[in-house]
Amino acid sequence: MNTAIIGSGIGGLATAIRLAVKGHSVEVFEANSYPGGKLSSFDLGEYRFDAGPSLFTMPHFIEDLFELAGKDIKNYFDYFKTDKVCHYFWEDGTNITAFAAPKKFAEEVENKLNVKGTTLLKALKDAKRKYDLTAEVFLHRSLHKPLNYLNKETLKGVLAMPTLDMMSSINQVNKRLNNDKLTQLFNRFATYNGSNPYKASGIMTSIPHLEHGFGTFFPKGGMNAITKSLFKLAKELGVQFHFNQKVEEILIENKQAKGIRVGSEKYNFDAVVSNMDVFFTYEKLLPTAKHPTKILKQPKSSSALIFYWGMEKKFPQLGLHNILFSENYKAEFDHIFNKKTVYDDPTVYINISSKYESSDAPDGCENWFTMINVPANEGQDWDKIIETVRENTIQKVSRMLKTDIRPLIKVEEILEPRTIESKTWSHKGALYGTSSNNLMSAFLRHPNFSRKIKNLYFCGGSVHPGGGIPLCLLSAKIVSDVFED
């Protein structure tokens, strides 16, 4: 089957590989001059930055693609597991290192927060239990194919539903930890899919298992090495790439996808897969098709304001992943999701790839990927918001690290909701498409295929099962599974 894929984000690349392995002739059309979508990189002077996702978990989903292709991943991609998951900081001077070894992490929590280590271990065990019961049902298979519910894994998950905290919020579940700081630490996992821990279902307290069960990893060469390796593999499998080729329309005949239009040129294909945000897929590429209005109008996930800072100093107290918490987490999320603005004391996430990849910054320096969670673009005065948030962030980081960082910022680039949308076609700059604050959010995501148009499929973070590298890779697997040969 001759298949077109619109977009070369991580979902599009993985879909291209899976379909090529199945014997399809695959062509990828990308509006940008480079592959990867959000998972790309750029240089600022002597500093290198990963533009988008900075956390690498569940590498077995990458390994699966090379195994399917019969290739040795070591010839394309190398990575290692980190011994520290994250460094957490609070305004009162408390700081915690979340070690990869659960017992060591438990000892740290017991020493720093005066909470029994068994409390943490119990929470991690519960996260694993929930993940094991729900992953096969909600993540690995299409939720929109009735036959997928007729198996023992689904039955097992359904029978366990009363124990999955579905009717409680993430925060309500985490308050059982009986420590405000530990609750805040576990609440922050809601940001994995751009959600509000005070509204999102407690079933998502399984998310910590991604970090503390599977572990966190670092790709040699930075996160963009993932894109580079998959791009190389896809090309070796015969996938053709067309860069600077913006698809204008998906061609439909007799309720069947028949090809695409790029400018005035029409290309015939047997099937089309859109890795473009599902909202713009309908809005821009399928203007005459019946739109799934209820799905497309779902509330959006949070977005991000990122300051890429080249710092003329090394900070030994920081690691690869660092979080400097807000003193009022509930107020922060209320501002993001209800007031559609940014709290004056935002939580700050700092990723520093030069901790492991020294060539990413000059000697004695660091490359800071400094991110603040912000609302999706609803027409706010972003220029004013960015100015205020930048000042508050500099003051907060300087205060908590006891160093004036302002004069240390050698180079700077900024990414915000408007430019996220313009560069990656993410509707309103939302990082994860639809928010997961609704209990039924998993079922309200667009399926990985069209019920109305034959041979039209969807992958990527705006459709099932969701955003983030692992789920985008799983969306490719689902497309491959439901693909009609």
Other beta carbons within 10 Å of 284: 16
The confidence score (pLDDT) of residue 445 equals 84
The average pLDDT across 27-36 equals 97
The confidence score (pLDDT) of residue 202 equals 94
* pLDDT at residue 370 greater than cutoff 80: yes
The confidence score (pLDDT) of residue 363 equals 98
Please, which residues have CB within 8 angstroms of residue 402's CB and are 6 or more apart in sequence?
none
The residues facing 86 across adjacent strands are 98
Which own/partner pairs from 31-36 qualify as long-range (CB within 8 Å, at least 24 positions apart)?
Answer: 31/7, 31/244, 31/245, 31/246, 31/247, 31/425, 32/8, 32/243, 32/244, 32/423, 33/243, 33/244, 34/243, 35/8, 35/227, 35/231, 35/241, 35/243, 36/8, 36/9, 36/10, 36/224, 36/227, 36/231
The mean of the pLDDT values for the chain is 94
The confidence score (pLDDT) of residue 294 equals 85
Domains and CATH numbers, the chain: 2-39+224-297+439-482 (3.50.50.60)
295 against 418, higher pLDDT: 418
* pLDDT at residue 437 greater than cutoff 90: no
The confidence score (pLDDT) of residue 64 equals 97
Please, which residues have CB within 8 angstroms of residue 432's CB and are 6 or more apart in sequence?
193, 194, 301, 302, 461, 462, 466, 467, 468
The confidence score (pLDDT) of residue 436 equals 84
Min mean pLDDT across 282-296, 355-369, 385-399 is at: 282-296
Q: 302-333 pLDDT, tens per residue?
A: 999 999 999 999 999 999 999 999 999 999 99
Helix (H) or strand (E) holding 303: strand 303-311
The confidence score (pLDDT) of residue 151 equals 66
Percentage above 70 pLDDT, the chain:
95
Are β-strands 256-262 and 247-253 bridged in parallel, bridged antiparallel, or unpaired?
A: antiparallel
Residue 33: both structure tokens together: 């001059």
* pLDDT at residue 485 greater than cutoff 60: no
Q: Is the pTM of this model over 0.85?
A: yes
3-class secondary-structure state, position 381: coil
* pLDDT at residue 441 greater than cutoff 70: no
Letter for the amino acid at 186?
A: F
The confidence score (pLDDT) of residue 135 equals 85
Q: How many residues does the chain have?
A: 485
Min mean pLDDT across 55-69, 72-86, 355-369, 432-446 is at: 432-446
Q: 162-217 pLDDT, tens per residue?
A: 888 989 999 999 999 999 999 999 999 999 999 999 999 999 999 999 999 999 99
Q: 229-240 pLDDT, tens per residue?
A: 999 999 999 999
The confidence score (pLDDT) of residue 309 equals 98
pLDDT-based confidence at residue 142 (cuts at 50, 70, 90): low
Min mean pLDDT across 16-30, 279-293, 398-412 is at: 279-293
